[in-house]
Chains A and B, each alone.
Chain A
Amino acid sequence: MLLGKPYNHSVMFSSPRFRAQSMRQHALGLPIVFSLLVVVILLSLRFGALRIDTGTVANAIWDYDRSDHRQIVVRELRLPRTAMGILAGACFAVAGALTQGVTRNPLGAPGILGINAGAAFAVVTAIYSGGITNPAGYVWFAFIGALGATVLVYVVASAGSGGATPIKLALAGAVISALLGSWTAALLLLDLETLDQARFWLAGSISGRGTEEAVLLFPIIAAALLLALFMGRQVNALSLGDEVAKGLGQRISITRTVAGVCVIALAGAAVALAGPAAFIGLAVPHIVRSVVGPDYRWIILYSALLGPCLLLGADIIGRVIVSPEELQVGIVSAALGAPFLVYLVRNTKMTEL
């Protein structure tokens, strides 16, 4: 049974010696991932249609000279793009980790809760009815669409007894995604112009997105990320199953609601910023889990750091590989993440659920 069974590693939490040892190892890993992130950020600022050396990048940040066109590229294009990548990557990955823990489904990802479908539907509807005139417009429509769809999924899944159980959430999410997806498809087929405009957004990209909107969304993202980082213990209990969580004195419904709010805020913001590039949300937590084990306190933290690495890495590859043109980050991240996921599936015990 894929749905409804926890990652059963309860034994691992039991030995104090093991715990102390793994704590130390996990803490040691942090600087490594952190330096990886720094390297990726630097590469993201340097590479593109125009290659820029590290000195110029440093100047653009600390000693900005408006007459140097390379510094302008760094400051006006690559910095915002990189920041967008960091935000979206962290959001997708953490939202994915929370979803997998709370729904106890290895396929759990924000996409399963209808977030991508909702955002895509709202954006395509807005394009179709002529509501979007500038790139910034996408952000709000996508955010509202993602929010609306996920709230709907939660409401539908909470109907009946027992509240929003994992399997009901997954089913409701699949239904509503398919429903919205079909309407989106119909709109795209009705109007060639809509298809032409929407297909680029639908591919997922972090270039030329609305920076001001990102600044407005930032407090929401920061609050949700912070909350998520402190939820590890609760998610651990939930991931062992409802019974165990109750036995450990958890109030399941509260944890689930708070986690749900976090996921909605994070994934909604990420989709709004980067488009439906949500494969990262599925892949990163699995990658992290294969290294740090089943403890969600670490999974969430590492996901927050590794998500941006993967998203920015994908973005850089997309810029370089068909230069001077670009491949959208959604395409590259899926092309990179998928083989990795398959590799993990083949070589770890993750699938023995």
Chain B
Amino acid sequence: MNRTARLCATAAIAILGLAIVGLTVGDYPVAARTAIATAIWDRGGEFDFVINSLRFPRVVVAVLAGICLAASGLLFQTLIDNPLVSPDIIGIDTGAATAAVANLAIGLDVRLLPFAAFAGALTAALLIFALSWRGGFSGGRLVLVGIGINALLSAVITYMLVRFPVERVSAAARWQAGTLSASSWDDARTMALVLVVLLPVALLLVRRLRIMQLGGETAVALGMRLERNRVAVITTGCGLAAVVVAAVGPLGFVALLVPHVARSLAGPITVGVLFLTALLGAFMLLSADLVAQRLFAPTVLPAGVVTAAMGGPYLLLVLRRFNRAV
């Protein structure tokens, strides 16, 4: 068993442990044995609602969202070869947030929100691609256009935050921080569906990304259709990010940070590293959500606040490693 596989196994076990903790702790503590039984083979009973309607879907959503975000971040960072790139930085999250904040600020039905957010993310992504396409893609152009669009959409959000009554604005601000509190089985199902389609695609793309990392000219010389593969990577990364934002809001930092951790543990991208990244993403989001729930209980913080706060020390660690390397 090589190092990456060992790391993956460790991460998987840690996730399982955290998931069990997630099922047991809360305002109504449930014994681990009962919690697992209720969730898996002994449905119904005293804790059915708490476990199967509140905690279990939340845990599953955290795991799936973590996987999506981290994988998306790894794809973007490898493609663009910039450690600071992630879907939240190039404007995809902001697109979703703009639509969602508009939804909340104008006072439309809350049930429309995931659809609005997804549409917003896709629109932003399409806009960024369309504007950065000039007979081909360049990573640098994509990032700069993304930052421009990001700034523009942020301005729209700020405008809405200033313009509308503070009660509605507050709901929008809360959503914008990213929260798993309202997770449902529907969210989990959507994400699982997207993962089933996009994760294999991502795995297929890993080999091509490795070739692309050698540089555009080398890749072409090796017989690669560069543009087509770039488009594939970007579409996959966007899809993964958009589905998460639609379900739980723009959870910052997971997509930016986890790929760093994975790479510093296991080296440049391989299928194993992609798996490790996905698992670490799930681990990070799951633990962040637990902290968010319990730290100031009964007040529940948005998970996004915790991922960002957790992210700091993590990334400082990465930075230390980096400092030694550079």
Contact = CB atoms under 8 A, between A and B. Distances in A.
Interface of A: 1-3, 106-107, 156-157, 159-162, 165, 167-168, 170-172, 174-176, 178-179, 181-183, 185-186, 188-190, 192, 195-196, 199-200, 202-203, 279, 282, 327-328, 330-332, 334-335, 337-339, 341-342, 345-346, 350-353
A282 B304 contact: no
Contact of A203 (B151, B162, B311, B316): B162
A119 to B, nearest CB: 15
B28 interface: no
Contacts of B144: 106-107, 341-342, 345, 350-351
B118 interface: no
Given A174-B84, A178-B253, A330 B158 contact: yes
B155 interface: yes
A199 B326 contact: no
B170 A192 contact: yes
Interface in B30-89: 80-85
Interface string B167-182: 1011001101100000
Nearest to B159: A331
A185 to B, nearest CB: 5
A173 to B, nearest CB: 9
A178 B316 contact: no
A186 B323 contact: no
B111 interface: no
Contacts of A339: 148, 152
A334 B145 contact: no
Interface of B: 80-85, 131-132, 134, 138-141, 143-145, 147-149, 151-152, 154-156, 158-159, 161-162, 166-167, 169-170, 173-174, 176-177, 252-253, 256, 299, 301-302, 304-309, 311-312, 315-316, 318-320, 322-324, 326
A283 to B, nearest CB: 8
Contact of A171 (B83, B131, B141, B301): B83
17 contacts: A107-B84, A159-B323, A160-B323, A172-B319, A179-B309, A181-B308, A182-B308, A185-B305, A195-B169, A282-B147, A334-B152, A334-B158, A338-B155, A341-B151, A345-B141, A346-B132, A346-B145
B261 to A, nearest CB: 13
A282 B147 CA distance: 10
A85 to B, nearest CB: 18
Contacts of A3: 82-84
Nearest to A332: B155
Contacts, number: 178
B323 A168 contact: yes
Nearest to B141: A351
A341 B177 contact: no
Contact of B82 (A2, A196, A202, A346): A2
A156 B148 contact: no
Counting from the closest, the 6 A-B pairs by CB-CB distance are A160-B323, A182-B308, A334-B155, A338-B152, A179-B312, A351-B140
Given A1-B81, A171-B84, A334-B154, A342 B166 contact: no
Contact of A2 (B80, B176, B326): B80
A189 B140 contact: no
Contacts of A179: 308-309, 311-312
Nearest to A338: B152
Contacts of B159: 203, 327, 331
Contact of B311 (A156, A175, A192, A196): A175
Contacts of B155: 330-332, 334-335, 338
> Which of B83, B140, B156 has the most C-beta atoms of chain A within 10 angstroms of its own C-beta?
B140
Nearest to A347: B134
A353 B140 contact: yes
Given A189-B177, A331-B155, A334-B152, A167 B83 contact: yes
Given A2-B140, A2-B143, A338-B148, A203 B81 contact: no
B148 to A, nearest CB: 4
B216 to A, nearest CB: 12
Contacts of A352: 138, 140
Given A182-B308, A345-B141, A328 B80 contact: no
Contacts of A350: 144
A88 B154 CA distance: 20
B326 to A, nearest CB: 6
Contacts of A186: 177, 301, 305
Given A171-B84, A179-B309, A199 B140 contact: no
Nearest to A335: B155
A162 B326 contact: yes
A106 B82 contact: no
A306 B83 CA distance: 31
Contact of B151 (A2, A337, A346): A337
A175 B312 contact: yes
Contacts of B315: 171, 174-175, 178
Given A107-B144, A171-B84, A346-B131, 15 more contacts: A161-B324, A167-B322, A171-B83, A171-B315, A172-B319, A175-B315, A178-B308, A181-B252, A189-B174, A195-B170, A332-B155, A339-B148, A342-B148, A350-B144, A351-B141
Contacts of B131: 342, 345-346
Nearest to B157: A331
Contacts of A331: 155, 158-159, 162
Contacts of A182: 252, 304-309
